[in-house]
Structures are given as C-alpha cells and as structure tokens.
Amino acid sequence: MDMPSPDQTVLAKKAHIVARLRAVLPLDAVIEDEIETRAYECDALTAYRCPPLAAVLPSSTAEVAAVLKICHEENVPVVPRGAGTSLAGGALPTADSVILGVARMNDVLETDYENRLVRVQTGRTNLSVSGAVEENDFFYAPDPSSQLACAIAGNIAMNSGGAHCLKYGVTTNNLLGVTMVMMDGEIVEIGGGHLDAGGLDLLGVICGSEGQLGVVTEATLRILRKPEGARPVLIGFDDNQVAGTCVSDIIKAGILPVAIEFMDRPCIRATEAFAGAGYPDCEALLIIEVEGSEQEIEVQLDRIVAIARRHNPVEIRESGSAEESAKIWLGRKSAFGAMGQINDYMCLDGTIPVSQLPYVLRRISEMSKEYGLDVGNVFHAGDGNMHPLILFDANKPGDLELCEDFGADILRLCVEVGGCLTGEHGVGIEKRDLMLDQYAPEDLEIQMAVKDVFDPKWLLNPAKVFPLAASHARRSVSH
Amino acid sequence: MLKPENEAALAEMIATGTGPLRIVGGGTRDIGALVQGDVLSMAEVSGITLYEPGALTLVARAGTPVADIEAALASEGQRLAFEPMDHRGLLGTQGTPTIGGIVAANVSGPRRIQVGACRDSLLGVRFVDGIGRVLKNGGRVMKNVTGYDLVKLMAGSWGTLGVLSEVSLKVQAMPETEATLVCEGKTEQDGVAALCAALGTPFDVAGAAHLDAAATGGMSRTQVRLEGLEASVAYRMDRLRQGLLAGFDVVQGAQSALLWDEVRNVTPFADQTGAVWRISSKPTDGPLITAALKASGLAHRAIYDWGGGLVWVLVTQDDTAGAAPIRQQVAKFGGHATLVRASQVQRAQLDVFQKEPTPIAAITTSLRAQFDSHGRLNPGLMGE
C-alpha cells in the first residue's frame, strides 16, 4: 500500500510546529516524543503503520480550532482520530502529519427526552451514548461491533452501521446536527434539534466523508425509546441459496426484523470450536431478531418460523429465555474472535443486492480454492452487507499481499453484481485504489471537487478515499 | 421547451446549450424564488428500470410519475416509506408529480418522524451537472459508504446542483393494518406535548400531528398513528390509551388513512387563501414559535406534523406574508422557514428559503460553483 512521501519542509520544522501547538494546548496535550507517538502509528488495520510527526489531544472545540488554524498556516497535514478502531486505515498517519485525537472530548452536553435527542462531544464512545440515556430507557441505535471502543467522531466520519440498522438505519439517519471545525480553524454549526436541512444537506455529505472535510467536535444525535423486549430465532439450512431465499421471503412478507445475520459453514465451524454455542453443523445459519412486547414478539416469530419451515430447515431453535437468547447470539458475536484464533484475517464489508447472495457466496468459495486461502462469511443478510473474513498468515512472506489480492477480487465481484466496495467500514487506504472499479473518473472528480470546497489545501486526511494518482495533482500544489 | 428523451440527450442538451434553465418534472411543485430560463422538462425520461421486492429496492428514471411507482409497489404490497406529499392541492398546480421532483425537493410526509425523510430512503442517484457531465453516486444497496455521500446532497437541492436522471430508493412493506388515536380540543402546547410523549414510548408511533381549531374549522385535533401487524397495533393502542393518551378515540382503516392524507397534503389550507410557510424546528419549539407569532399580532392558522417539528403556517392577512415576525421567531428558536405558497410579487420580493449564516452560505455558493460553474441550473431558486 503506497502512501505519499512526507513533505520534507514540514519534517524540517517539527520543533517550530510543536512549539506553536504547545502555545495553544496544555502541556500534556501535545505528544511529540518518538516513542510516545508510536501509540498513534496505526488503527485497527494494523498491517500498516507510520508514526505521525506529533499527536495532539485537545479538550474543547476552541482548542481544536486553534490546532487546525496553526496546521493550516504551516501547511501540515492533519489526520483526525476518534478511537482508532477503523478497519480501513482511516486514521493511519503519514510521517509529516499531526494526529488530532478527540478522545478527551467525551462529555454529554445536553439530553432532551421530549425531543428525543442528545448532544455529545464526539470523543464519547458509541456505547456510552446509550449509557448516558439508559436510566430513562432510551438508546442510540447505530451499533457497530466495535461499539464499546469506537468514538462518535469516527462513526460520523465513516457513517457507521451495525447489526440493527435494518430497522434503525445507519449513522447518517440518526445524526441531527454537528459542530465542525474547518481546516482553517473556522467553527461552523450545521443542523441542530430540527429534523431537516434548510438549504443544501451539508450534514448528509459530512457524514461519511472520512474526516476529509472538517473535524466534527460535537454532535446532536437522535435517541429512541428502548423496545419492550427482543428475541432471536436461529434457523439452519443445508444450502446457502435456500437461506438467501428465506431472507428474501421474510422481507417480502412485510416483517421487519431488527437484525438478520447470516453465517456460512466455515464460520459456523470456527465459532463452534471457539465458543461452543451449540450451533448445528450446516451450510448456512440465520439469526433473526425481532422486537416488541412479549405477544408482539410471538406473532412475528410465528410468521418467520412458518416461512422458514417452507424452506426445509435442518434446525429451528427458538429462544425460551434470556440465557437461550444469549447463547444464540454467542457464536455470532464471537465469530471474529474465532476466526482470529485460527489465523490472521482480513475483514471486508462489500455490500451486494440480496438477490445475488447465492451467486456471490459460490464465487467466493471458488476463489478461495484458487487463492489457497480459507474464507468464512458472516454478515448482515437483510441489507446484503457481507463480511468475508479471509484467513492468512502474517508471518509468511507474500501471504498478506495474496490475501489483499483475494480481497480486491471479492470487492470487484460485489461491484460487478450491483453492489459496492464498502457498506460500513469506509474506504480509508484499504479500498482507495479500488474506487475506479466502482466509479468513473468524473464521479470521483465531483467528490474531490467537494473536498476542494471544504479543504482547498487538501490537508485533512489527504491520502485516503481517492486513488493516489487521482488526487495527486490536488495534494501536490505548493502552498 | 427542452424535453430530452433520455439521459444521454439530456447531457447533450446541457453540454451544447447556453443560458439559464428552469428544470421541471411534472411542474407541480412551483416553489422557490422565480427562475428566468428555458424550461427543461424531464417528463419523458421515464420508467421503472429495476424493482426487487425481496430486496426492498426500486430504481426509476427521474420523470417517472409517482403514481406509476406507487402502483407498481402496491402490486407487491409495498410503498414509499416516507409518504411524500402531493403539492397540487395546496399550490393549485396541475400536472403529474414525478419521482425526480420528490427527490429534488426532498419531499416527505407524516411518516418521516418514524422512518426518516426522502433522503433517508434514497440509495443512489444519476444526474447531469451544469456542464453536461453524467455523474453517479451511491447505488442500489442499503448500506454504502463508498466515497462521499452526494446522494443526500442531491436530495433537496432543488435542481441547483444537477438535473437528476435516475434515482434508486429503499421501499417498505405495507403494514397489515393502521389505526389512529384522536383527541379534540387540546391547545397547541398540550397537543404537541402529547405527541412528544407518545413518540417517546416504545410503541413505534408512525405519525404524530396536531391541527389547530382555525385549521380544522371546528375543534383542534391531535392524532397519533400506529401501523403494523393487527395484534401488535391493538396491543400498542391499548397501552397508549391506558396511559399517556387516555381519552383519545380510535379511528381505524380507511378513516384513519383519510386523517393522514389531510396532514400529508396540508389539505385544510388548500381552500383557504393566504401565504403558507413550512417551519422546521425542534418539536417542542413548534407551539412556542406560533404562540410568539400570535403575541406579535400575526393572524395565522397552524398544522403541526412530525410531533411538532414541522409547522405549516397559513398567514391570512399580510402583504409581506408575515415574513418579518416569522423569520424573527425562527431565528430565535432555531430551525428554518420556507415560504411554500405565495404570490408572484411576494416570491420576487421575499426570501423563499431561509438565508444561511455567512460561513454556511459561503460553502453552499462554492459547492454550486463546482457542480454548475456557469450558474445555469435553476439559478437563484434557493436564494443568494
């Protein structure tokens, strides 16, 4: 994975830049020591590492503005960082960049149950947003699997999804407003407690822009009242295609489960060996969860089970208690850990039309043989968001590259059948060079033109999202 | 009038033409500052290109009549979740509403409070920019974070960033049944408080509106909609009536649907003369804004949708449509106001869309310059 070579002018004036940053931040909020900056050398895409020039940990919007103003004046690239859980390398530094971490900004600023919103600083973790409103039985709906650790800042940057977005939508559908600092240090307010945009929907384009348009320091988020209850059912099939058809039939029948999760045989076997959830040894397994009162859950599950029975399932396991529900979820929730026990893995998140599921699974299995690398599939079936986990050995020379090539082929396949490269993780550096497989050059050109408006000098997270060759001219303008 | 038959012809017309264009779908949403320019009609760029009921996805060319889309969806027991308004009654326009028009104006009805706006159901767009480039963003899958989300940016841009040629939408299954809980005689404050309380329950409210007495011509009306499986609707209705919505009556089936058509299309104001504003605010601020308007002496009628977060205000007597007090109060409380129905003179003299703060206005202007460098697409429609 290529990264642009660092700007020597910036490297040469490190002491000057650090001194200026120290002048606007508390002593412990500027990290420049070569050993300490290593803590910021990568995110959850650990295959790629590079310590930044420095890292700063501001505590307020005003401090963020002061930092950005200095970096803007000094032409220093800035890499915003939430909790560093990006699987796509969204927070990977370059050697000439300043990491701007929002971890110290984690206050709840306002809670308004009547209007069902909460305003938080964006360093707050996803799960602790729900935690802040839990005592009143409310919650924040988007639930990426990293929700214990990931920050709202990163959720907004990547427009994060989660297992329950089939019903509740992703981050962009639950974001009402932001306070954002522009690269030149100007603070802007977009949206707020009201529901829709007055002019152009800038909030919509900021969400998912991978930290390239501004640094979001505060966010107004929609909160919802918790459902009275929730319960999953587990259904096993001896054929992927049949499982896919079952998903489609449930959706067509007008039932809207909050989650429909799918695991294939390699994944079932791995999780069974790891977690012992008692899953049937079958080709495909669905976990379908519905919400509501006890009787509403009954009605929905009855219908789902009736549809499933028409497809000759090898097993239907309904939950009779909280313990049984937890056991049904246990395997799914430990799937990534289970695959990690076997070997190193790379997790992709291409999305496909649900109707293409059987074909795509068959092709992945064929490619797996061609590449000689095992792959397990666990994914959000209701919305076609795949998560192929490709196993490789990081210590074996050439294996990572082989795995990346395999991954790229899977993502091209997703695009070919009408889907996209990434459903919830973002492009980052990982899928940057595949963008031309999904978009024509002019489609990327208009996206880059949007960045020109917000960040004319291309200093914010500059080497991400767009193929380096496509963004080269913009990044190389001498300031 | 320019009337391209397909996307390629549209791109050619824009690339080779000069001068401003006034873009129309069915021409039923004549809203915004007056635009001088050649009419560009998208009515011929029509047809559903893909519909997969099992994936809840529909793709259609921009000029496709909404009625055709609704009919295709209904044949599979599905619908557009965001329940778009038909503006013909309120604006007194003729013509056939198109899906492109709905997306360009981000039109959403009462169910928006539960499932989000048109922009939340929009999965992908194809459009032609101001220099004739055919561009695409998003796609047809439900989860897509590949590159910047220009899909949302295009929704509600009123044709000022590009001419939509095709849109891709997430659709929804029709519920087995619906019912509405109705109460008459509540004040605006009490009505909206009841709506907010109902929206804060686990009972999945699918519509929350209040019509003041002047709007109904009789008693004020507060209404809360539930949808879903029959047993579930019955259960939730009971729970609400035993608790927060004690004293509310039940209206079911077709009668319930009629109540929501009225709110969706702002029907009570269709036959009443005067300017009509659409105010977007924090739900609890809705009745506070109208109370302040009343205190300032501005005679008006109001319909509160989205739990109070969308207020339709009819100003009956005022040459300037009550613009000054409305702008003042909205500025004070937060949110924004759009002058949806007004005379030609008022539209020429007043800001139809709310002026944005300086840094936001600067971003907006620069974005327009990137998408439409010659300023040809609906120039000035949204202001500035």
Which pLDDT tens digits describe chain A residue by residue (479 residues)? 889 999 999 999 999 999 999 999 999 999 999 999 999 999 999 989 999 999 999 999 999 999 999 999 999 999 999 999 999 999 999 999 999 999 999 999 999 999 999 999 999 999 999 999 999 999 999 999 889 999 999 999 999 998 888 899 999 999 999 999 999 999 999 999 999 989 999 999 999 999 999 999 999 999 999 999 999 999 999 998 899 899 989 988 888 899 999 999 999 999 999 988 899 999 999 999 999 999 999 999 999 999 999 999 999 999 989 999 999 998 888 888 888 888 899 999 999 998 898 899 999 999 999 999 999 999 888 889 999 999 999 999 999 999 999 999 999 999 999 999 999 999 999 999 999 999 999 999 999 999 999 999 999 999 999 999 999 999 988 66
Q: Measured between alpha carbons, how far is A95 from A82 in angstroms, rounded to an integer?
A: 19
Average pLDDT by stretches of 10, chain B with 384 residues: 97 97 96 96 98 95 98 97 98 97 98 98 98 97 96 98 98 96 98 98 98 96 96 96 97 97 98 96 98 96 98 91 96 97 94 96 98 97 88
Closest chain B CA to residue A170: B143
Q: Measured between alpha carbons, how far is A20 from B234 in angstroms, rounded to an integer?
A: 65
User: With contact defined as beta carbons under 8 Å apart, do B363 and A202 qualify?
Assistant: yes
Return the pLDDT at A470: 96
B177 interfaces chain A, CB cutoff of 8 Å: no
Could you confirm whether domain B7-173 is CATH 3.30.420.40?
Answer: no
A209 interfaces chain B, CB cutoff of 8 Å: yes
A213 residue type, one letter: L
CA A163 to chain CA mean position, Å:
12
Alpha helices in chain B (DSSP H): 7-16, 66-74, 88-91, 99-104, 112-115, 118-121, 150-154, 188-199, 213-216, 230-242, 253-264, 285-295, 323-333, 344-349, 358-371
Assigned token pair, A290:
């519905």
Return the pLDDT at B180: 98
User: With contact defined as beta carbons under 8 Å apart, do A236 and A280 qualify?
Assistant: yes
Q: Measured between alpha carbons, how far is A137 from A373 in angstroms, rounded to an integer?
A: 45
Cβ distance B155 to A204 less than 8 Å, yes or no, reads yes
Closest chain B CA to residue A172: B120
Question: By CB neighbour count within 10 A (0-12 exposed, 13-18 middle, 19+ buried), where does A244 fall?
Answer: buried
Sign of CA dihedral A388, A394, A399, A400: positive
Return the pLDDT at A419: 97
Domain ranges of chain B: 7-173, 177-264, 267-349
Return the pLDDT at A8: 97
Q: Tell which of B49, B85, B128, B144 to mutate to test the A interface (max A CBs under 10 Å).
A: B144
B280-309 residues touching A, CB cutoff 8 A? 280-285, 306, 309
Return the pLDDT at A452: 98
- Cα dihedral B248/B250/B255/B259 (nearest 10): 30
Please tell me if the domain spanning B177-264 has the same topology as the one spanning B267-349.
yes
From chain B, the residues in CB contact with A194 under 8 A are: 280-282, 309, 334-336
Q: Measured between alpha carbons, how far is B354 from A379 in angstroms, rounded to an integer?
A: 43
Task: Report angle CA B155, A207, B351 to the nearest 5 degrees.
Answer: 45
Q: Measured between alpha carbons, how far is B287 from B273 in angstroms, rounded to an integer?
A: 22
Orientation angle between helical segments A265-275 and A322-333, nearest 10 degrees: 120
B12 interfaces chain A, CB cutoff of 8 Å: no
Identify each DSSP E strand in A26-97 by its residue range.
30-31, 54-56, 78-81
Closest chain B CA to residue A224: B200
User: With contact defined as beta carbons under 8 Å apart, do A380 and A163 qualify?
Assistant: yes
Cβ distance B359 to A203 less than 8 Å, yes or no, reads no
From chain A, the residues in CB contact with B356 under 8 A are: 198-199
H/E run at residue A180 = strand A175-181
Q: Which fold has domain B177-264?
A: Alpha-Beta Plaits (3.30.70)
Gap from B364 CA to chain A (nearest CA, Å): 7
Q: Measured between alpha carbons, how far is A214 from A19 in angstroms, rounded to an integer?
A: 24
Q: Measured between alpha carbons, how far is A350 from A207 in angstroms, rounded to an integer?
A: 19
Q: Measured between alpha carbons, how far is B45 from B9 in angstroms, rounded to an integer?
A: 10
Assigned token pair, B366:
């620069």
Return the pLDDT at A478: 65
Return the pLDDT at B151: 98
Domain range B267-349, CATH class: alpha beta
Of the candidates B105, B92, B87, B89, the one whose C-alpha atom is nearest the C-alpha of residue B32 is: B105
Give the single-character DSSP code of A4: P
A196 interfaces chain B, CB cutoff of 8 Å: yes
Return the pLDDT at A110: 98
Q: Measured between alpha carbons, how far is B279 from A339 in angstroms, rounded to an integer?
A: 52
B133 interfaces chain A, CB cutoff of 8 Å: yes
Q: What is the pTM of this model?
A: 0.97
Q: What is the CA radius of gyration of chain A?
A: 23
Of the candidates A349, A337, A270, A333, the one whose C-alpha atom is nearest the C-alpha of residue A86 is: A349
Q: Compute how many other C-beta atoms are within 10 angstroms of the C-beta atom of residue A359.
A: 15
User: With contact defined as beta carbons under 8 Å apart, do B260 and B85 qualify?
Assistant: no
B113 interfaces chain A, CB cutoff of 8 Å: yes
